[in-house]
Structure 1
Amino acid sequence: MAFVSVSDFEQKASVELEKNALDYYKSGAGEQLTLRLNREAFQRVVRLRFNLGFWLLGLLRLRPRCLRDVSQLEISCMILGHHIEFPLGIAPVAMQKMAHPVGEIGNARAAGVAGCIFILSTLATTSLEDLAAAAPETCKWFQLYIYKDRALTESLVRRAENAGFKALVLTVDAPVFGQRRDDVRNKFSLPSHLSLANFHGELASGVVSVIGGSGLSEYVVSQFDPTVTWQDIKWLKLLTHLPIIVKGVLTAEDAELAREFGCAGIIVSNHGGRQLDSTPATIEVLPEIVKAVGKDLVVMLDGGIREGNDILKALALGAQMVFIGRPSIWALACDGLRGVEQLLGLLRKDFEISMALTGCRTLADIQATMVVPESAYRRLK
């Protein structure tokens, strides 16, 4: 099968993956409204807050500029002091060996070949140390959940530092896990031949359905600390020299708190539509967050990215880079490392075409005026 789009990878992966894993990766919370919005917002709707306080809704349009020399494109960027070949990275996704035996190592190595950032999940099926040894050249960040056992959490931070990870990505939208109904129906459990490789004993093998629902939700309730507040950022900053990025911010108010408590960056994220259903798509709230803190923090985004146009739209609205989650899993399931390499190459080429056809030679040429709602576009004409 020739893969020419993310949808092609998804279609093949839906055949390759067994139901427990497929439903875990693809599903969202509740009625999955937010899951759908993440994608549809890039195609149809953007919300922009104006001084009078109302929302303008409409079809999302690109306004290309013509007769510009786009024979040589420059799409690299600097993120937290690191040179990145193009503004796309791989978001943290748990338990990737359910998709392919190579698991997280496949995604990390592919990211390194492409010059992208890879974020390793706390709930990975490959340990911090094994991942670092297998992908030494990749710019690696570590996604952190805070456990009730703070000494355990501190050990994860120390291990990330020692293994050469370059940043901590603290997930802040998961004091509990959302109601993922497919996982409940399937009584989701991590297959018995796999484990959460950053842990030992029950912490490694405890993602099992005991009371008849989602084994992952049961694990989270028993292990994650729901008392975490912004004050815990201060505690983390005392533990580590690594920059702290908060992932899961959807409001300007929380973005401002991230700045106040000394975070280095934000990932605008709704957890792939897997936490609180009926939250907005990430691209919808991006402009207000950029307006609030965009000059002070690195603002990034995940959720709904599937083609080059999406990357361009997110950058035009103020993101400095974007991340993909599910697409990397579909590609991994299709052909391991080679599948992810092919996916990242496809997305890079698609982004370069979008840049050239909008008249953008560099990332700095991508301007907010190039992306407008249909109703605003009618007024511009």
Structure 2
Amino acid sequence: MMTVKDFETAARRRLDPVHADFIAGGAADEITVRANEEAFRRLRLLPRVLRGSAERSLDITVLGGRARTPVLLSPTAFHKLCDGEGELATARAAAAAGAIMIVSMASTVAVEDIAEAIRGSGEDGAPAPLWFQLYLQPDLDFTRTLVRRATDAGCGALVVTVDSPVRGAHERDLRNGFLDLPDGLRCAHMAEPGEGGRVRQIAMSPEISWQHIDWLRGITSLPILLKGALHPEDALLAVRHGVDGLLLSNHGGRQLDTVPATIELLPEIHAAVAGRIPIVLDGGVRRGTDVVKALALGASAVGIGRPVMWALAEGGEKGVRRLLELLRDEVDQALALCGATGVRDLTPDLVRAPVWPDTAGYAVRPGGAVS
């Protein structure tokens, strides 16, 4: 396995075709799925020279969580579709790499078991960094229970998905008849206590509003990141409502099709929040150079989703370890070739971009500058 693409090809051979489509697919015509990758390819890096360093630092700190790599694991559902150990294997690989893992609410392993599997495996014996992704449920008491479980398990932040008032049109899944998990698998956080207990469905909430974010802010002291806010005005509202960070994500193209690629939106969002809260970006990251471009344009870290699932399908825990090592090596190489001693040296002038449409008062110019 030499590239992320190699993992995708290998996973396609190993997975049930229906499950492979579930992982790769997006909403409707999958225009945004393709746009996420294509937008990175349109960006160009303009390196500096004669600024060499024998070593480069890839360490980051986001919302108090330290990591040895700027690549974190975005929340993805149903890891046991790819490997029998599911999220346990993924978490051990992330802990070994010093990477932050965001546990999905739709995980097939409970957050308590994931936390136990990596207890003491962080730097100097500290807990490996875990965050928890949450869909706010209409049953607020049940939502409160999930928040308490994530807190008690030692999660360092809550990542609240806000782009899913209804489900996206996953036409691949509909054509394949993939409407539920296979026998023997369940969404661990939605199951009632005890073997054979009722498993709730994750409810999408068309009525979700900023009042729900205020309610959540009032019941937890954990940092809150919003996942899926794409408009600069919503980024400003997030700051005003006491949100601690943004996960700039279009759900991998799985919700509203034809929305822009996240890397195209990053300069606008970065200008809007003006450094008041950190931005993590995911969507279409397939190379170390993609990571460097995102960090240079203002992201504090970068998330990967589908590549984790492909690596898990190809080689379980070892596959995910290899994936994270590969991306770390690619980021390190790109830093050296850009004349950077670490991720903190990355600035917008290292990126040459097309002129993207000015739709919200922030014009993105060549070189990544924003006016």
Per-residue deviation at 1:135? 1.7
1:37 to 17, 24, 35: 35
Residue 148 of structure 1 corresponds to which residue in structure 2? 138
1:118 is aligned with what amino acid? M
Deviations 1:272-321 (Å, cap 9, x if unpaired)?
00000000000000000000104100111000111110000001110010
Deviations 1:343-375 (Å, cap 9, x if unpaired)?
000000000000000100122211100101268
> What SS does structure 1 have at the residue aligned with 2:303?
strand
Per-residue deviation at 1:239? 1.1
TM-score, with normalisation over the residues of structure 1? Answer: 0.88
Per-residue deviation at 1:20? 2.2
1:159 to 134, 143, 149: 149
Give the Cα–Cα distance (whole angstroms) in 1 for the partners of residues 197 and 214 of structure 2.
26
Per-residue deviation at 1:226? 2.0
1:197 to 180, 188, 191: 188
1:76 aligns with 2:59: yes
Per-residue deviation at 1:205? 4.5
2:171 to 166, 171, 181: 181
> What SS does structure 1 have at the residue aligned with 2:279?
strand
Q: Is the 8 A contact 2:66 2:129 kept in 1?
A: no
In the alignment of these two chains, the number of paired residues is 347
Residue 10 of structure 1 corresponds to which residue in structure 2? 8
Q: Is the 8 A contact 1:167 1:242 kept in 2?
A: yes
Residue 130 of structure 1 corresponds to which residue in structure 2? 113
- Alignment RMSD, CA only? 1.6
Per-residue deviation at 1:18? 0.3
Residue 214 of structure 1 corresponds to which residue in structure 2? none
Q: Is the 8 A contact 1:195 1:204 kept in 2?
A: no
Per-residue deviation at 1:85? 0.6
| Seq. identity, % | 44
Q: Is the 8 A contact 1:28 1:272 kept in 2?
A: yes
Deviations 1:235-282 (Å, cap 9, x if unpaired)?
101111101100001111110011010000001100000000000000
2:46 to 45, 48, 63: 63
> What SS does structure 1 have at the residue aligned with 2:189?
coil
2:69 is aligned with what amino acid? F
Structure 2 residue runs of 5 or longer lacking an equivalent are 120-126, 356-364
1:232 is aligned with what amino acid? H
Give the Cα–Cα distance (whole angstroms) in 2 for the partners of residues 327 and 74 of structure 1.
24
Structure 1 stretches of 4+ with a deviation exceeding 4 A read 201-206, 374-378
> What SS does structure 2 have at the residue aligned with 1:100?
coil
1:200 is aligned with what amino acid? A
Q: Is the 8 A contact 2:65 2:156 kept in 1?
A: no
Residue 310 of structure 2 corresponds to which residue in structure 1? 330
Give the Cα–Cα distance (whole angstroms) in 1 for the partners of residues 35 and 77 of structure 2.
22
Q: Is the 8 A contact 1:9 1:327 kept in 2?
A: yes
Structure 1 residue runs of 5 or longer lacking an equivalent are 45-59, 207-218
Residue 50 of structure 1 corresponds to which residue in structure 2? none
Give the Cα–Cα distance (whole angstroms) in 2 for the partners of residues 260 and 86 of structure 1.
30
Note the 1:266-285 alignment, pairs <5 A: 266-285=246-265
Q: Is the 8 A contact 2:164 2:205 kept in 1?
A: no
1:284 is aligned with what amino acid? E
Q: Is the 8 A contact 2:167 2:204 kept in 1?
A: no
Per-residue deviation at 1:377? 6.4
Note the 1:289-328 alignment, pairs <5 A: 289-328=269-308
1:225 to 205, 208, 211: 205
